[in-house]
A and B are shown apart, each in its own frame.
Chain A
Amino acid sequence: MTAIAPEAVNLRTTPASAQRIWRVVRLNLVNKGTTIWVPAMIMGFIWLVNYLIWWIIWAATPVAERPHAMDGTQWSGGGSYIFVYMLVVGIQVISMTFPFALGYSVTRRDFWLGSALTFVMLSAGYSIGFTVLSFIEQWTNGWGLGGHLFTSVYFGDGGFWERLFIVFVAMTFFFFIGATSGTLFMRWRVNGLLIAGALLALVIVGAVALITFTQSWPAIGDWFTRMGPTGVVAWLLLPTAIAALAGYFVLRRSTPKS
């Protein structure tokens, strides 16, 4: 190999697909502040504010009525913050990290697969934390005041795996809905979002019409009761999978506008 032509170029070896995908995961997580510390801190702050409110209710309510008054906190929506945050993270991964990753010569395929893996990893981490907190909340009888934040009705009262499953699935749902909305915007700008939103609205109205005309509302109610939180949430896997697949194909032909 001594007779290399003067104009020959030493090219780099191409890393394996798994390695290329993994570096996208690392890129998505390079700023831990955004993906880990900030949401954890805000969640902590929400907990603190809730705790203070519980304490006010607890202190202002006669002893006999306290259990009843604190019961209402099981409808607390404070825990939903984290899911909306993840929706925004999903959007930003496409709107900001994707154009940047193209500058690092990442393929769209590797970027989507790496980001999907990032979403699954973050969902796993957060759902474990969330579930552990829900048990602490339960064991301490609502942080000593009977309050509910991590054990609100939406997350069910099943065992460890059931709670973990609900939070995990809900979280991946929000990540992928956010990211796929991001790809629609990246490829077709506002029109993409408008048309996708219009189609979704039509599908929902159509479904409502179908249910109403066939007088199936009681059956739907039964279905929700029968499925329970775990069963209903399991059905979220379907739109999540559709979003993940659609996002991949939309992104493959997307170009950031400068």
Chain B
Amino acid sequence: MSTTLTPTSIAPTVQVEGLTKRFGSFTAIDDVTFSVKPNKIYGLLGRNGAGKTTIMQLLTGQDFATDGDIRVFGEGPVENARVLQNICFIKESQRYPDDFQAKHVFRSAPWFFENWDAEFAERLIRDFRLPLNRRIKKLSRGQLSAVGVIVGLASRAPLTFFDEPYLGLDAVARQIFYDRLLEDYAEHPRTVILSTHLIDEVSNLLEHVIVIDQGRILMDEDAEAMRGAATTVVGQRRAVDAFVDGHEVLHREGIGGLASVTVAALSPSQRAEAAAAGLELSPVSLQQLIVRKTNVAATEFEQSA
């Protein structure tokens, strides 16, 4: 397979089959299969502890799979310099040497990332107002996130991971990250995998969404398709109940005689039908959709247990 890593690769950026990772008796990742296409921005979404960081550690060869197959640029990533050369993954919980100041990170990063853009890094350092001469241990949570974000952006690795990049960043800094990522991505297309549990914050950024929950893939869909994947129907309880009968119900809530029910995608004729019945339809945000879906999964899980 070593011939696949010529200067260009047309293999899927990531191809994972039957991936399982156990820590003792705990199954963190449970028989997961998915692939990542080149030059798209992926969202790896899920609740805390769902297995997002574990998946990223497995994809970058930082951890070892219990079972299953991982291909990154067509090859296994573990201890494979040809593959790892193309990856940048600064974990949310990344450890830095105690004696490091931020300047040591930016001094050493270009040695490891061939496409490193020093000017871009300097601009980002100014944007995030990151103090270079302070020990990393003394940085605030937001400043620590900024270090990872700057390395991730300026390294321009063909496969870049952002692990909870928003953690501790204020609204201005988050907007800077969002803007710089899109600008630079447009000029230098690459595959980006962004993990977060703050879904609404990033939903406009994502082209494809993979939702994981309790180590399993819950959704693996185009982001645009997902945005229209569910609708909330609001109205008189009786009218709503009559309308949603036969639909896949994701969520239901109500006050008094009013009901609000989230159902799977509706066809234009169904929409017309709802309007005729005096029901209100409202779109469901990505975050709401995922919350609904993960809740459904949780109740199913409880019932089966």
Contacts and interface: CB of A to CB of B under 8 A. Distances in A.
Interface in A233-258: 252-253, 255-256, 258
Contacts, number: 122
A7 to B, nearest CB: 5
Contact of B114 (A7, A13, A31): A13
B100 A10 contact: no
Interface residues of B, number: 53
Interface in A1-59: 4-5, 7-15, 17, 20, 23, 26-27, 30-31, 33-34
Contacts of A23: 111-112
A188 to B, nearest CB: 13
B107 interface: yes
B158 A20 contact: no
A8 B8 contact: yes
B39 A103 contact: no
B64 A12 contact: no
B263 to A, nearest CB: 35
A243 to B, nearest CB: 21
Contact of B112 (A96, A105, A108): A105
Contacts of B100: 31, 100
Of A5, A17, A104, A105, which is in contact with the most chain B CB atoms at under 10 Å from its CB? A105
Contact of B115 (A12, A105, A110, A253): A12
A13 B5 CA distance: 9
B158 A9 contact: yes
A12 B80 contact: no
Contacts of A34: 97, 99
A99 interface: yes
Contacts of B195: none
A146 to B, nearest CB: 38
A142 B33 CA distance: 71
Contact of A104 (B37, B53, B64, B112): B112
B98 A7 contact: no
Interface string B105-120: 0011101111100000
B259 to A, nearest CB: 44
Of A5, A26, A104, A108, which is in contact with the most chain B CB atoms at under 10 Å from its CB? A104
A12 B81 CA distance: 11
B8 A258 contact: no
Contacts of B85: 11-15, 105
B156 to A, nearest CB: 10
B7 interface: yes
Interface string B165-192: 0000000000000000000000000110
Contacts of B89: 103, 105
Given A7-B38, A8-B9, A30-B107, A96 B79 contact: no
Nearest to A252: B79
Interface string B57-101: 100111110000000010000011110111111110111111111
Contacts of B298: none
Contacts of A9: 8-10, 13, 38-39, 73, 158, 190-191
A255 B109 contact: no
B248 to A, nearest CB: 33
A97 B101 CA distance: 13
A109 B91 CA distance: 21
A106 interface: yes
Interface string A101-118: 011111111100000000
A92 interface: yes
A12 B109 contact: no
B104 interface: yes
A255 B86 contact: no
A36 B30 CA distance: 47
A51 B62 CA distance: 50
Contact of B62 (A4, A20, A110, A255): A255
A103 B86 CA distance: 12
Interface of A: 4-5, 7-15, 17, 20, 23, 26-27, 30-31, 33-34, 92, 96-97, 99-100, 102-110, 252-253, 255-256, 258
Given A11-B8, A27-B112, 10 more contacts: A9-B38, A9-B191, A26-B111, A96-B95, A97-B97, A105-B157, A106-B112, A107-B61, A108-B79, A255-B57
Q: Which 4 A-B pairs have the closest CB atoms?
A: A105-B84, A258-B93, A104-B112, A96-B97
